[in-house]
Amino acid sequence: MTNVKDRYEFIEEMFEKLGRISVEQIVGRYTKLIPRGRHWMGLCPFHRDTKLGSFIVTPDKGMWKCFSCGDEYAGNGVKFVSLYKNITYLEAAFEIAYEFGLITYDEYRRYYRRKYDELYVKKIESRYSQNQKKKVVRKKVNPVIIHNVYQCMKDCCSLSEHHRLGLIRDRKIPLERIEQDYFTCPTNWRQKDTIIAGIKEKYPAYTDEILMNIPGFFYDKKRGKLSFTGHKGLGILIRNSDSRIVAIQIRKDTIQEGDSRYIWFSSSFATYNPDEYNGGNGCGSPKDVCYPQMLKKHTLCITEGRFKSEKLTESGNISISVQGVTSWHGIEETIKHMNGIHNVFIFFDADILGKHVLFMQSEKMIWKIQDEFPGLYIRYAFWSKKNGKGIDDCIIAGNISKVKYYEAKRAAEICNDAYTHALGEYHVANLRELKQERAKEFEDYLQILTESMLGL
Q: Can you spell out the DSSP letters for 211-241?
A: HTTSTTEEEETTTTEEEE---SEEEEEEE-T
pTM of the predicted protein model: 0.81
Under a CB-based contact definition with an 8 Å cutoff, are residues 213 and 282 in contact?
Answer: no
- DSSP secondary structure letter of residue 301: E
Q: Give the Cα separation of 197 and 189 in Å (integer).
A: 12
Dist CA 248 CA 197 (whole Å): 19
DSSP state of 186: P
Q: Where in 116-240 does DSSP place strands (E)? A: 182-184, 217-220, 225-228, 233-239
- Residue 13 Cα distances to 7, 10, 93, 184, 237, angstroms: 10, 5, 12, 52, 49
Q: Which residues pair with 319 in a beta bridge?
A: 290, 301
pLDDT more than 70, % of the chain:
95
pLDDT score for 14: 84
pLDDT tens, 384-423?
A: 999 999 999 999 999 999 999 999 999 999 999 999 999 9
What confidence tens digit (pLDDT) does each residue in 98-125 have? 888 888 877 888 787 777 888 888 888 8
- The CATH superfamily assigned to 4-128 is Zinc finger, CHC2-typedomain (3.90.580.10)
Average pLDDT over residues 207-213: 96
pLDDT for 158? 95
From the CB of residue 421, how many other CB atoms can be counted at a distance below 10 Å?
A: 15
Cβ neighbours for 266, distance < 8 A, ≥ 6 positions apart: 215, 216, 229, 281, 282, 283
- 97 contact partners, CB below 8 Å, separation of at least 6: 14, 17, 18, 103, 108
Residues linked to residue 58 through DSSP beta bridges, in sequence order = 63
**Phi then psi for 312, rounded to 5 degrees?**
-70, -35
Task: Name the least confident of 95-99, 168-172, 385-389, 448-452.
Answer: 95-99
What phi, psi does 12 have (nearest 5°)? -60, -45
pLDDT in tens, 269-289: 887 678 899 999 888 889 999
Supply the pLDDT for residue 111: 81
For the chain, domain boundaries: 4-128, 143-278, 288-453
What's the one-letter identity of residue 167? L
Alpha carbons 89 and 130: distance in angstroms, whole number:
12
- Could you tell me the pLDDT band of residue 333, with boundaries at 50, 70 and 90? very high
Give the lowest-confidence range in 89-103, 243-257, 359-373: 89-103
Rounded mean pLDDT of 130-135?
A: 52
pLDDT at 30 over 50: yes
Q: How far apart are CA 223 and CA 277, in angstroms?
A: 10
Beta carbons within 10 angstroms of residue 125's beta carbon:
19
Taking a C-beta distance cutoff of 8 angstroms, is the pair 378, 344 a contact?
A: yes
Find the DSSP H helices in 19-104.
23-27, 77-85, 89-99
Q: Which of 338, 379, 377, 376 is nearest to 362 (CA)?
A: 379
Residue 139: phi and psi, rounded to 5, are -75, 140
Dihedral sign from CA coordinates of 82, 87, 91, 96: negative
Q: Rounded to the nearest 10 degrees, how much is the dihedral formed by the CA atoms of 184, 187, 189, 194?
A: 10
Q: How far, in Å, CA of 144 to CA of 383, rounded?
A: 40
Q: What is the pLDDT of residue 259?
A: 66
Q: Shortest CA distance to 306 belongs to which of 251, 351, 350, 345? A: 251
Helices (H) and strands (E) in the chain, counts: 17, 18
pLDDT at 1 > cutoff 50: no
- Rounded Cα distance between 403 and 381, Å, is 6
Distances (CA, A) of 287 to 273, 295, 455: 28, 20, 32
The one-letter code for the residue type at 338 is M
Mean of pLDDT values over 442-449: 96
The string of pLDDT tens digits covering residues 343-365 is 999 999 999 999 998 899 899 99
CA nearest 448: which of 411, 421, 424, 413?
A: 421
Averaged pLDDT, 55-68: 89
Greatest pairwise CA separation for the chain in angstroms: 78
- Crossing angle (nearest 10°) for helices 89-99 and 4-18: 70
Q: What's the pLDDT at 424?
A: 96
Task: Write out the CATH class of domain 143-278.
Answer: alpha beta
Question: Which position has the higher pLDDT, 115 or 47?
Answer: 47
Q: Which residues pair with 381 in a beta bridge?
A: 405
Same fold, 4-128 and 143-278: no
